[in-house]
Amino acid sequence: MDVALVQYINRLCRHLAITPSRLHPHEVYLDPSDAADPRVACLLNVPVESLRLRFALLQSLNNSLESFFLPLVELRQTHTYQNSIAALLSEAKGLIFYDTKVTVMNRVLNATVQRTADHAAPEITLDPLEIVGGEIRSSENTYFCQAARQLSCVPSSQLCVKLASGGDPTYAFNIRFTGEEVHGTSGSFRHFLWQVCKELQSSALSLLLPCPSAAANRNKGKYILTPCPISYAEEQLLHFFGQLLGIAIRADVPLPLDLLGSFWKGLVGEPLDSEQDLQEADVLTYNYVKKFENVSVTDETELEALCAEISSQHHSGESPDSPSRPCCTFTYVTMTGEEVELCQGGRSLIVSWQNKDVYARAVRSLRLRELQNVECMTAVRAGLGSIIPLQLLTMLSPIEIELRTCGLPYINLEFLKAHTMYQVGLMETDQHIEFFWTALEMFTQEELCKFIKFACNQERIPFTCPCKDGGPDTAHVPPYPMKIAPPDGAAGQPDSRYIRVETCMFMVKLPQYTSLDVMLEKLRYAIHYREDPLSG
């Protein structure tokens, strides 16, 4: 119950944009709509007063952990000593609020800065012409590979910077685009991370593989690490991928990566669930395995039909006893399409009543090994560990490290509105400002993400900000706050002008359009037809 309550409080605090330490127990309530979330459905039958008292206890526990206990725990001993405080803390991480973990994590990240203000940031030069038109002719031309080559000779210590904050954040490296005149570093850095994520989740690079379950309309758009032996060059690219995850965490730039839960489990060192993770990754194989395990002992026809189905899907073969009947041998096709033997001499070993359970276990084991992908995950973790201390992952669940790295895949318009400034005499009550927010409220989530990409060069924005813990002078996390300003110059009719942005500053230069229809038209034109993502 406590773990479910912590998950519910995390969600409630995200909605209210406050930390659990500032939430009063009497603000804790459950709505019947919460029954849709299986993680908190068990709380619906608990009296609300009991929930509030339990929350008060968890709140006190987390305050003590954050202030006194967690800074003193040696988290590196978690996997070495099973009875250490760190190991016990890892088992109890479900009782710690997400904000508590992030606060401690941020303190450690700022305490492990290795590049000070006295040292100039490394600079890389990228050639946009290599990916012009969105068509990448070779993986060597991608921004990912261009950056990996140039940063391979830069010590990782030079990439360990303080957490990004304020209007002029420090990033791991600066980016210069050949032939481009870009003012400021934030917009180009955020555009680089967006482009790299786009490349990783495309055919331009082979580090990630589309989730096999997508063939059955499940987890479409999700990716896993490609499960195959890797060369030294591929190991270096995976190492750089891990570094980018750490760089994004320090920069507080949520990456638009859609990776399957098994990836995040491997990253934090959690074991895979042989049922759930297999079903999420490859539902067709999962169904085959379950059919083999549950096939009736007396139904020989059912086993033959199942073997025939697998033979037709993966390979062709005939039974030596009955040449006209397809047979299934101890082989299976990997996620990359290669047929492998499940045991020594598997191609000549036919699946029968006596060994069908052994075959099912072998297929399950093959898929789980592919999902664990130890060789590739080791390279990614090594890269991540060169930017942030890996022991911090001890406190985080797979969902939480994904949240910290990739944020939320949707835009909270109320949160964005609360983190917006109006400049040069503009006010929230101005008619064209009201048109602006009404237009955004009419947008789909896809259109909102495109607007954010247009305005600040990143598709996802942080869902939390330090300003919720302090007064108005507290530094915002970039790219917040969004700024709305008048357009440059005063020539021409407002309705004939276009929206411009300064992506480095997250500034929208908004003409005084005379109607909501004009505002909608100009906004949609801006997010759909802009040509240069660096100029707005």
pLDDT one-digit tens code per residue, 270-327: 999 999 999 999 999 999 888 888 876 666 777 778 878 777 766 545 544 554 555 7
Q: How high is the mean pLDDT of the chain?
A: 86
> In terms of domains, do 165 and 266 share one?
yes
Tokens of 117: 């203000």
Quote the tokens at residue 353. 């009543």
pLDDT computed for residue 531 by the predictor: 47
Residues of the chain with pLDDT > 90: what percent? 43
Query: Which residue, 180, 183, 184, is CA-closest to 168?
Result: 184
What CATH number is given to the structural domain containing 189?
3.90.1750.10
Q: Is 0.85 surpassed by the pTM of this model? A: yes
Is 118 within the bounds of a domain?
no
- Given the residues 160, 327, 449, 504, select the one marked as catalytic: 504
Q: Taking the CA atoms of 256, 258, 261 and 266 in sequence, report the sign of the dihedral they define.
A: negative
- Model pLDDT for residues 432-477, shown as the tens digit of each residue: 999 999 999 999 999 999 999 898 888 888 887 776 554 444 567 7
Structural domains in the chain (count): 4
Whole-angstrom distance, CA of residue 319 vs CA of residue 299: 18
Backbone angles phi, psi at 111, to 5 degrees: -85, -15
Q: Which domain holds residue 59?
A: 2-111
- Other Cβ atoms closer than 10 A to 43: 21
SS3 state at 434: helix
Residue 105's pLDDT is what?
Answer: 92
Beta bridge partners of 333: 339
Determine whether 211 is an active site residue. no
172 plus 58 within the same structural domain: no
Burial level of 371, CB count in 10 A (0-12/13-18/19+)? buried
Rounded Cα distance, 218 and 3, in Å:
28
Confidence band (pLDDT; 50, 70, 90) for 107?
very high
**Whether residue 401 is found in the same domain as residue 318:** no
CB contact at 8 A, 320 and 352:
no
Same domain for 363 and 383?
no
CA-CA distance, 142 to 484, in Å (whole number)?
34
Tell the residue number behind the tokens 């929208």, with chain if given: 508
With 0-12 CB in 10 A as exposed, 13-18 as middle and 19+ as buried, what is 470? exposed
Do 247 and 392 fall within a single domain? yes
Indicate whether 351 belongs to any domain.
yes
Residues 238, 129 share a domain: yes
CATH at residue 435: 3.30.2410.10
Residue 108 phi, psi (nearest 5): -65, -40
Is position 307 within any domain?
yes
End residue of a domain, out of 53, 83, 111: 111
